[in-house]
Amino acid sequence: MQTPLLFKFVMVLALLAIVVSLGVALWRLITDRGESERTVRALTFRIGLSIALFVLLVLGMLTGVVVPHGIVP
């Protein structure tokens, strides 16, 4: 069984959102020079996205939507 295309699209979209959020945090760090809390909010949002993506992957594996490859550690 293969992973559905919609699930793959959601995962890629979440990864892109995480990268964009990290870039926004860097930009705010440079422009604000550490004088505001906007950098912290952007990094907190990135952490929330990362946790949501991890939970989504675990739920996908538990429900059988995401099937791991045959790679054994």
Q: Give the domain ranges of the chain.
A: 9-63
3-state DSSP of the chain: CCCCHHHHHHHHHHHHHHHHHHHHHHHHHHHHCCCCCHHHHHHHHHHHHHHHHHHHHHHHHHHCCCCCCCCCC
Its pTM stands at 0.80
User: Using one digit for the tens of pLDDT, what is the confidence trace for 7-66?
Assistant: 889 999 999 999 999 999 999 989 987 777 888 898 999 999 999 999 999 998 888 888
